[in-house]
Amino acid sequence: MTQQEGVQLAVHGMNCAACVRHVENALKAIEGVDQAFVNLATAKAYVTLAPHARVAHTTLIQAIQKKGFEAQLLNESNELNAPAENQKALAKEAQQKKQAFLLALILTLPVFISDMGSHLIAPFAHWLHQQISPYALGLMQASLATLVMVVPGRDFFLLGFNALWQRQPDMNSLVAVGAGSAWLYSMVALFAPFLLPAGANHLYFEAAAVVITLILLGKYLEARAKGQTGEAINQLLRLQSRFARVWRQEQWLDLPIDQIMIGDRILVRAGETIPLDGKILQGQSHVNEAMITGESMPVYKSTEDTVIGGTLNGNGPLEIHVTHLANQSTLATIIRMVESAQATKLPVQNHVDRITAWFVPTVLAIAGAVFIGWAIWGPGLNYAVVNAVAVLIVACPCAMGLAVPTSIMVATGRAAQLGVLFRQGDALQQLASVQLIAFDKTGTLTLAQPVVQDLFFNEGIDATQTLSHIASLQQHSEHPIATALVNAAQAKSLPLSAPSQFHTHTGLGVSAQVEQHHYYLGSAALMAQQGLQPSAAQKNQFEQLAEQGKTVIYVARDQDIIGVIAIMDAIRPEAAAAIQQLHQLGIKTAMITGDHILTAHHVANALSIDVVYAQTQPGDKAQIIKQLQANYGTVAFVGDGINDAPALAQADVGIAVGAGTDVAIESANVVLLNNDLGTTSAAVRLSQATLRNIKQNLFWAFAYNIALIPLAAGLLLWLTGHVFSPVYSALAMAFSSVFVVTNALRLKRLRVNPS
């Protein structure tokens, strides 16, 4: 196995934070496992192996199975289908829970009506006791309650007592001990009342049956709600076509996606979904990419343009050269990124894990103490049983395990719909606390489509020939300035020559030999480095153009500065609004650029940017981010180029715009798919909303336990004279889990654009 190899496993049967901890501990105990993280919401285990470790996948699966859960290896062949399979599993689980609940309800209703009805309605009690003896009634209740426990409720007891046997109690253990204690006490009271103190032979079959029924209801509602948390990923999966029309054997054939090879030619008719990533060979159309990038307007595509699998072809047929297979496509990459973010354990989750590690044993100890205390000092043994059972049921930690991962799961899916990919889930938490966002200028705040605006050459210089030479020098460069110069020459149909002795002066400019002349193109610093000084007129011209927001470069030929060229890169239309939205969130902004200070300040003033760093070297950006972190705290950086990678990595949160280089994207924590800077503020708003949602979930997961355990232990009886019934405990437990999941689902409807 390779160093730090990651293994993903689908795990079924988990239902609380304690289950998660058991699986994690089982995996971590295996020699060679470096880290293990289990996500309750996605039902997955993520395992990282130590360097050079050799651990068989079957070893991991067997360790999970020994804890009473089912596991399956996820690999390249099935990992993209895993969300859909998980959705099917959740749907199946919800159906099974529904059937179990309905069966339990049918069996429980006679027990509940015969017991509670006779307590609450005196005429009904009189009529019932005329029809059936108390002993026969007890036998009926015992039979039905037992059926509830051994048929629809059997998993609670099988899993719960197994966890107790392994000295790792979980939610099932609390239910099993609680409901089982009420049932056992009632059986003794019914069949051997002489073993109990006088007056203590009360029956609690209805408590045992109703507790199981209500918990099954909660589990059914929870499973149904959890099925909606992964809907965003499943929407992405549904974008993937199953077939493509490919040119084979001198004809068009409809073949399954997995039979399509790189280099194949496929045909996509108007109105059809583009099946795979590729490049257009023939045709033109408007392509709707909203489902991938969040961009609402269709994008015009023609020959040589790239298209993304899963997007919708508009009004014209397209012949496409396939460039990526289905499992390597943009869509597959997005799904993997979203799942990777969901697999991340946020820092706040570590605090939850530490609490849940001791929570269940503590609850068992409290319940034991409550039983002993009421048995010794209470009015009767039956009070001890009821209060102890109420404590066990009310404290089930289901909601604790769901509080964080469900919010992350829904939020990352919602983010993908908005065109935001969180490559690491912890970026969700970090972005929420960002105090300053720094932007690269070219290609981020601007369109990276510069055009030559002004050419000023000394008297006697042939401007046409000079432009031809300059474009020849730059023809093989991908820098935006180089592109602008080449485009300007091509617009005039000027011939291009092959340059020699080409040299890049990092952050300053370039130089090369073209025909009989040696040229330097770049900043005043490059000219000074070569011992060249601009004339007063040239310097004045340079500054006037820079003050207009243009990027200005000097042109030197054969040791003489012969002129200046001004290039204009338009500011993105949405940039000003995006900066304003960040300011409304209380976030300061900065711009880092290699442009002259006058050009930089012109752009910064137009966008109301707070801090400006101009005339910077590419290698300076990471150091500038460090300085901003020291001055402002948590800093995010938005960039798109290769020279942005160090700054993206240095920032607390690196944000790469989607059209940027692979290097920039790989260095970032967050990727904006649609190149819309407004998505930056959307990402911040979403992260802040997610953190609020997590805090709300944690409050409800923990606070109700803190509040209700004392009431269940007997405080309510002491204050009001009424017992806190285990039935109330079951209702509270079910409510907390369902609330946590449904609260997380609110993020699906989150509107991140300020109104």
Supply the CATH number for residue 27's domain.
3.30.70.100
- Classify residue 543: in a domain, yes or no: yes
Does 424 have pLDDT greater than 90? no
Among 519, 534, 568, residue at a domain's last position: 568
- The string of pLDDT tens digits covering residues 340-386 is 666 666 777 777 767 767 777 888 899 899 999 988 888 778 888 88
Helix (H, G, I), strand (E, B) or coil at 153: coil
- Residue 623 falls inside a structural domain: yes
CB atoms within 10 A of CB 251: 7
**Residue 482's pLDDT band (boundaries 50, 70, 90)?**
confident
Which of the pair, 150 or 668, is modelled with greater confidence?
A: 150
pLDDT of residue 83: 57
The answer to whether position 527 is within a domain reads yes
Select from 41, 75, 109 the last residue of a domain. 75
For residue 150, what pLDDT is reported?
Answer: 93
Place of tokens 């067997």: 62
Instruction: Just list the catalytic residues.
Output: 440
Asked if the model's pLDDT at residue 710 lies above 70, the reply is yes
One domain, residues 538 and 589: no
The domain total for the chain is 5
Instruction: State the pLDDT at residue 394.
Output: 79
Q: What pLDDT, on a 0 to 100 scale, did the predictor assign at position 1?
A: 36
Q: Which residues pair with 46 in a beta bridge?
A: 8, 37
The residue with greater pLDDT, 382 or 500, is 500
Two tokens, residue 408 = 């992350």
Q: Are residues 247 and 395 in the same domain?
A: no
Cα 648 to Cα 656: distance, rounded to the nearest angstrom: 8
| Spatial distance between the Cα atoms of 730 and 316, rounded to a whole number of angstroms | 60
pLDDT at 226: 64
The 3-state secondary structure of 529-587, one letter per residue: HCCCCCCHHHHHHHHHHHHCCCEEEEEEECCEEEEEEEEECCECCCHHHHHHHHHHCCC
The sheet with strand 420-422 has its strands ordered as 420-422, 670-672, 653-657, 635-639, 436-440, 588-592, 611-613
Q: Are 432 and 684 in contact (CB under 8 A)?
A: yes
> What is the pLDDT confidence band of residue 148, given thresholds at 50, 70 and 90?
very high
- The pLDDT value recorded for residue 734 is 72
With bands split at pLDDT 50, 70 and 90, how would you rate the model's confidence at 736? Answer: confident
pLDDT for 66 beyond 70: yes
674's tokens = 């649609």
Residue 122's pLDDT band, with cuts at 50, 70 and 90, is low
Mean pLDDT on 178-183: 84
Looking at 298, 331, 364, which one is the last position of a domain? 331
**Mode of pairing for the β-strands spanning 285-288 and 420-422:** unpaired
- The pLDDT-based confidence of 125 (bands split at 50, 70, 90) is low
Q: Provide the percentage of residues in the chain whose pLDDT is more than 70.
A: 87
139 and 203 co-located in one domain: yes
Smallest Cα–Cα separation from 155: which of 63, 19, 61, 58? 19
pLDDT: is 349 or 588 the higher one? Answer: 588
Which residue did the predictor score with more confidence, 77 or 637?
A: 637
Position 389 in a domain: yes
184-193, 291-300, 324-333, 362-371: range with lowest mean pLDDT = 291-300
Do 262 and 397 reside in the same domain of the chain? no
CATH code assigned at 455: 3.40.1110.10
Neighbours of 465 (CB within 10 A): 13
In this prediction, residue 755 carries a pLDDT of: 44
* 701 and 638 within one domain: no
pLDDT at residue 562 tops 60: yes
519 part of a folded domain: yes
In a domain, 680, yes or no: no
By the 8 A CB rule, do 714 and 370 touch? yes
Write the pLDDT tens digit of every residue in 605-638: 999 999 999 888 777 888 999 999 999 999 999 9
Residue 466 has pLDDT above 60, yes or no: yes
Residue 82, domain member (yes or no): no
- Out of 355-359, 496-500, 502-506, pick the least confident: 355-359
C-alpha torsion 497→503→509→511, nearest 10: -50
**CA 556, CA 518: separation in Å to the nearest integer?**
8
512 and 612 fall within a common domain: no
Both 93 and 216 in one domain: the answer is: yes
Q: Which residue has the higher pLDDT, 442 or 350?
A: 442
Same domain, 151 and 122: yes
For residue 248, what is the domain's CATH number?
Answer: 2.70.150.10
- 611 φ/ψ sector (left φ>0, alpha ψ -120 to 50, else beta): beta
Q: Has residue 128 got a pLDDT over 80?
A: no
Whether 634 and 496 map to the same domain: the answer is no
Does the pTM surpass 0.95? The reply is no
Give strand pairing partners of 313: 287
- Helix axis angle for 171-191 and 726-745, nearest 10°, is 160
Same domain, 258 and 375: no
The mean pLDDT value for 45-61 works out to 86
| Lowest pLDDT segment from 362-371, 397-406, 468-477 | 397-406
Beta strands in 464-506 (DSSP E): 500-505
* Domain match, 562 and 466 both: yes
Mean pLDDT of the chain: 83
Identify the CATH number of the domain in which residue 622 sits. 3.40.50.1000
- Give the domain extent around 28: 6-75
Note whether residue 626 is domain-resident.
yes
d(CA 752, CA 729): 38
Q: 222-231, 466-475, 689-698: which range is least confident on average?
A: 222-231
Residues 125 and 223 both lie in one domain: yes
